Each structure stands twice: as structure tokens, then as C-alpha cells.
Structure 1
């Protein structure tokens, strides 16, 4: 069995997918790694490559294992903006999810977990599990590039929206990818343990005061970046509403790109964090990179990329 496995990574040209492909290609039990991504092949764009189609293909082609990449956004925050502090995979949290992205992830999670145990065309059984990522940083993280550009435009000042007591998890992209590799392998070896399970991504990146984590990442690349001031919720809410009015008035002639909306603002200012070791207990996950290594690797990339970063364009792009 070892050496004969073929892995397919959907979205394998993306930020996390690219790192998963890189790590999979280094494993000696894998015969071949295939990538399915609209970036890689333009003809893929004509297909509707949703989760339901992936599950249908697994059943028809007798693919016995499926690992789905979800997000903490599938859990919350909810529309009431109720906080979750250091929960785990078994913590109960209810209510309608605030962000549209989270709603689609929650729907996909449900159909993936419901498909666990389905019969395959060859008589076998499909085994599925879910990994929930959070805020993933590292080389090629677009949000870090945008933050750095904004800080440079403000003479190195990094302002922030969330209150100082807000907690959010960040995980280095290399550790997220490594958890996927281990989970996929152990789903094959120990399906009775992993099938039907959900796992949060984690490493030793600090979870308290997320704006300080971002500051450390940016200032490690550029020491001139320094912490600015907290932007009150009411002020940003007014800016969003004003932007909506201007956009409506000017829409026949000019459509400025929305930079933020109220649901996303509500999510940013709501504490939503977890604390778990489930992946370690179930399949021996340990981060490949420490917080110090992750910060250094991210800073090295950001410094190298800084020269090619364009000035921020907040209003010129059409939808």
C-alpha cells in the first residue's frame, strides 16, 4: 500500500494549497500529487467545482478518503456577535453565522460530514473529516501585504480596529499545511479515529491581542512599523455608511471598491478564539515551525516582496 497513493489537491495553487502540495510531494508514501485549480488550467473554470461535485466524484470513482478544508468562520461569530473565548471542537455555539463566507463553509462542512460512511461504487466506504483554519499568515499572505502598504502610506503607523481585549487565533501557513498532510495520512491509517471528526488548526502563535501579532510580523520585516491608535467602532461604522452613500450617488460614473462592510467589522471586533490539542491527541500533530521561525520566515518574505509592492488602491477598482 505504501508508495501507491495518489493525492488530489483541489485549489492547490492557492495560498494554503500550494504549501500542502509542497509538503505532500516530500512524503515517500505518495506516488503522485495532482492539482485541480482554475489558476492552473483555464478550462477548469467552465466546471462548477463545488463540494457537492467533489463528493459525487468520490462516490462514482470510489475515492475512499476526503479531507475538507473549512474555516473557523463556519462556526461564528453569529449575527448577535456573541464572543467565544478559548473554546474547542466540542464547544456549543449557536446562532446564524454573520459572514456569507462562513455560511457557505458551514453548509459545505455539513454535507462533507453527512457523506461520511457513504457507499462507493466499488462497494467500499467513503471516510471524511474536516479541518478548520483560522487567520492564516506567512509567505504570500495577501492581508499582510495590504497591511504593510497601509502602514507605509501612514509613515509606518499601524492602526487597529479590535478592542485590546479581543482574542483571535493566527496560524502559520506551513503548520496549517502540515496538519493537512498528517490528517490525510491518518484518515487512511486510522479511519475509525478520524472519520467524521472536525479539527481546528493551531500552533504556538499568540492568540491574545491579534493586532500585536500583526505588529510583530510587520515590524520584524520593517522596524519602522509601529503601533498606532485604536479606531473606535462608531467611527469606522460611520465611514462605512458614508462610503455606501458616495458609492450609490456616483455609481453611474464611478464605483469605488468597498474596503469594509458592517458584518466584517462586527466580526473583527468580536473575540472568537479556541484552545485545543485534539489534533495532537488523534494523529500526533506537532507544528513544524515555532512562532519565532514562523515570524522570521514571514518577515524575510515580506522584506523581499516590499520592493515590488504597489501603493494601496482603495477606490479605483470596479466590481
Structure 2
């Protein structure tokens, strides 16, 4: 991969930052361009530490700003597009999500064609495949089965449409007459240090005498460690640059998981945090079908009130389904085409994530002591 350069969008995010950290180790990489709307000071500091390894250009800009994208793409040979709005609670306006996740992707594709960027890798999500029903059981799912989300919720819907746009763009002619190569990666639920959802759940448990909500005890998922997802992006970039591998990868999507044990989301949080005294709520839980129909009623109320009042239901049918499904996928196709093997074992991934959770618990306890004194 002689003299190549890479643009990473969503560079200040949970996954984007890890992709940049691994990219910095790549040989013959001349420049990483890190694009995001906002860089938190701690993230900016962490990324800046990589400047001694590789030329790192940090760019603040909006994915919907065409001039910014034009500038960001100049002289780049690979784009890794992770920027998106994730919303599982339905609190962010639909238009904002559709704009960033779908329109932003379309604008970036157009900018890449104009700037003659030959490789475009899209970070998709397992949610473009489903689950569509909490009654459906998918174990060892794979790419040939063509699962597709039927939800109109803006996050899975926008990601599904954006992925289709990216894969359909494979083979487009670049301005200089070259050809655009694309692929998409569909990670499972991504965990690891800095995961905002885990952070929220741990903090809520600490406010509740160390009791973790048992919100998803009927689910069975195969979580994937963040650095393994980042590694899959590096391998996709290498593969699309390789004339022998590229024909098999072009226009394809890949499920990205690893060897993390299959657990319910609730049990998984417990496994990561039990050494710090946290435990799962052992009280009676509401049956899933009751939660589902309550969610349906709340959605109807929200719709009826919408002309006069913005009511956000505390949970939706989509969230109930997501949190209570058996939905597990194999990474064999990524193994075959990309040469993907998890970079970190389950034991290493668990240890790193647990240590980070330990730091959250420590911060909480110190804040309590300060309050008391």
C-alpha cells in the first residue's frame, strides 16, 4: 500500500478514534485525516499523541458541508466513513438522523468521486439486518441469508438506505476515469472502554445501590470488542488495495463479530462489572409481549400528541425487540475474504473493558466522598 492516505469521518467517536490508533501503525501510510464535527478535549489529546507516528491532520467540519468534504477528500486514497447519529431511544429528530446518516453519506460519496478517492469503506450496523421480531431466532446468521430490517425507526432505516447507496456506488467512474471500490462492515453490538451505552448503564446502577437493570434478560447477542471492529476496517482497506483480493470484496457487506461469549445484554454488563460489586436486579420482570404492547400504546399516544406536544416514549417496540431477541451472526465471510481474525481475545477485551468500568466506579465513589465531606 505504497504512499497511501486515509480520511476517517466520525474520528472523535468511540470507534473512529480506535480506527485511527490502528491506522497509525500501518506502514507506508503518509497521512491520516481525522474529520468530526466536535472533538472532546480528552479525545483530541489522545489523538494528538499519535502525531509522532504519522502525519495526523485534525479537521473540524460537518458531514453535510459540501465544501468541507471537498477539502477533506483532496489527495486521499481511502475513506473510512464511521460518522453517524446513533439513536435507540427515539429522542433525536428524525430529519437530523436521516440528514447525517443518509444525506451525509451521499455527499461524501459524491465528494470522493470528484476528488478521485478510489476506496470507500462504510461502517454499517447489525441493525440494518434486524431483528424484526423478538419471537424470531437467528443463530449463526450469515451474509447469504439477506436479512433486512423492516423498521421505519430513523436509525436502522437511515443506515440501511445509506449502506445500499454505498454498495450500489461500487464501480462508479471517478473524475479521472478511475473506478470506485466500496464495501460495508456490519458490526454486532460494540463494547469496550468508552462505550457511551455501557457508561450510562453503569452510572445508573451506581445511582441505584449497584443494581444493574435487567432490561434485556431474554436477549442473546454476540457483542464485539471495539478494537476488533477497528481491525476489520484496516483489513478491508488493505483488501480493497490488493488487486488479488479486491474483486471478492467489492460491493460486499460483512458481519463483524469476535469470540466474545454469547450473552444477554444484561448478563454481559454484569460479567464486565461484577468484580466491582454490581449485580443484576433479581426482581420480577414484565413479560416481553406486555412490554411490546405497552410500547405500541405509548407510540400511539406520542403520535396523537405530536401536533401540540413532543412526547418521547420511554421505550419503543423497536427497542423492546432489539433488547429481547436471539440475533447472532458469524464472521466467517470476513475471515475468508478479508483475512479477519480478532486482534484481541475475549479475555483481553474483558480485562480492558472491566478496568475502565472500575475507573467509573472509582470516580463515583470519590465523588460521593467529596459530597459527604
Taking structure 1 as the reference length, the TM-score comes to: 0.85
Q: 2:239 aligns with which of 186, 198, 221?
A: 186
95 and 155 in structure 1: CA distance in 2 versus 1, 3 angstrom threshold: closer
* Alpha-carbon contact 2:128-2:149 (below 8 Å) kept: no
Alpha-carbon distance in structure 2 between the residues aligned to 1:217 and 1:238? 31
234 and 74 in structure 1: CA distance in 2 versus 1, 3 angstrom threshold: closer
Aligned residue number for residue 317 of structure 1: none
* Alpha-carbon contact 1:65-1:127 (below 8 Å) kept: yes
- Residues 271-319 of structure 1: per-residue CA shift (max 9 Å, x gap): 2221231111112111111111111101111222334459xxxxxxxxx
SS at match of 2:6: strand
Alpha-carbon distance in structure 1 between the residues aligned to 2:282 and 2:28? 49
Q: 2:227 aligns with which of 153, 170, 174?
A: 174
The one of the two structures with greater contact order (alpha-carbon pairs below 8 A, sep at least 6) is: 1
SS at match of 2:12: coil
- Given the alignment of the two structures, is residue 7 of structure 1 paired with residue 62 of structure 2, yes or no? no
209-218 vs 68-77, which deviates more? 209-218
SS at match of 2:157: helix
Residue pairs, 1:28-67, within 5 angstroms:
28-40=27-39, 43-44=61-62, 47=65, 50-67=104-121
Alpha-carbon distance in structure 1 between the residues aligned to 2:149 and 2:231? 32
SS at match of 1:228: coil
Alpha-carbon distance in structure 2 between the residues aligned to 1:87 and 1:307? 39
SS at match of 2:18: helix
Alpha-carbon distance in structure 2 between the residues aligned to 1:244 and 1:153? 32
- Residues 140-195 of structure 1: per-residue CA shift (max 9 Å, x gap): 1111111112222332222323354x321200111111111111111111311211
Aligned residue number for residue 370 of structure 2: none
* Alpha-carbon contact 1:135-1:170 (below 8 Å) kept: yes
* Alpha-carbon contact 2:134-2:322 (below 8 Å) kept: no
* Alpha-carbon contact 1:200-1:279 (below 8 Å) kept: yes
CA RMSD of aligned residues (A): 3.0
SS at match of 2:224: strand
Q: 1:294 aligns with which of 349, 362, 367?
A: 349
Aligned residue number for residue 160 of structure 1: 214
Residue pairs, 1:25-174, within 5 angstroms:
25-40=24-39, 43-44=61-62, 47=65, 50-78=104-132, 82-94=136-148, 96-97=150-151, 99-164=153-218, 166-174=219-227
Aligned residue number for residue 328 of structure 2: 273
Q: 1:211 aligns with which of 258, 266, 284?
A: 266
Q: How many residues align?
A: 305
Unaligned runs of 5+ in 1: 311-319
Aligned residue number for residue 316 of structure 1: none
How much does 1:17 deviate? 0.5
- Residues 203-239 of structure 1: per-residue CA shift (max 9 Å, x gap): 111124333222101214x134345346223564587
294 and 10 in structure 1: CA distance in 2 versus 1, 3 angstrom threshold: same
Alpha-carbon distance in structure 2 between the residues aligned to 1:286 and 1:127? 23
SS at match of 1:90: helix
* Alpha-carbon contact 2:265-2:323 (below 8 Å) kept: no
How much does 1:121 deviate? 0.7
Unaligned runs of 5+ in 2: 40-58, 67-99, 366-373
Taking structure 2 as the reference length, the TM-score comes to: 0.73
Alpha-carbon distance in structure 1 between the residues aligned to 2:154 and 2:172? 28
